[in-house]
Amino acid sequence: MTAQRSQHVTSLLNGTIGSIKNVVPLDVTVDQPKLLEQALTMEFGVLIGITGDLRGKMVLTGDMTVFGTIGEKMFGMALEGEMLASFSGELGNMIAGGLSTNIVEQGIRIDITSPTMFQGATTLSGYDKALQVPVTFENAGDMGIYLLID
């Protein structure tokens, strides 16, 4: 990995964490990022494509109840079914949008795609590198944030 690409990935990581803390109105604990050594498997999640100076994907995964608790905290009402899936995609959009804003300050330009939802056993592969960032939201639970770099 070149030094510039490594710096871009670090900026992407820091921008993502900053965006999560800004978007989600719950206390969050961020664990140490680690390299994912196998294909990414999940039951529920949202994928946002990243294009521009750095190409890849951001994936948010977790139990539906975690997304539901965050939605309830943000909107003051329980979200279920299609509303929960729609909110989860929008949460991904808000976090990725905040990421774009955060890293443009470092001269890195990215665009994001519309969210893609995953429900049911899903395996993702076909990326160059994957960083896993485990986060825990107070009174909501754990979410996995994955940065898949092409």
Structure confidence at residue 1 as a pLDDT band (50, 70, 90): low
Measure Cα distances from 18 to 78, 96, 127, 130, 136 in Å: 26, 11, 24, 19, 14
- Residue 37 in contact with residue 113, Cβ under 8 Å? no
Domain that holds residue 128: 3-149
Task: Say how many domains are in the chain.
Answer: 1
Residues of the chain with pLDDT > 90, as a percent, come to 84
pTM: 0.93
**Amino acid 57: pLDDT:** 96
CB atoms within 10 A of CB 97: 14
Residues of the chain with pLDDT > 70, as a percent, come to 99
CATH of the domain at 94: 3.40.1550.10
Per-residue pLDDT tens for 72-84?
999 999 999 999 9
Per-residue pLDDT tens for 48-60?
999 999 899 999 9
Structure confidence at residue 106 as a pLDDT band (50, 70, 90): confident
Using the predicted structure, report yes or no on whether residue 20 has a pLDDT greater than 80.
Answer: yes
Using the predicted structure, report yes or no on whether residue 116 has a pLDDT greater than 80.
Answer: yes
Using the predicted structure, report yes or no on whether residue 135 has a pLDDT greater than 80.
Answer: yes
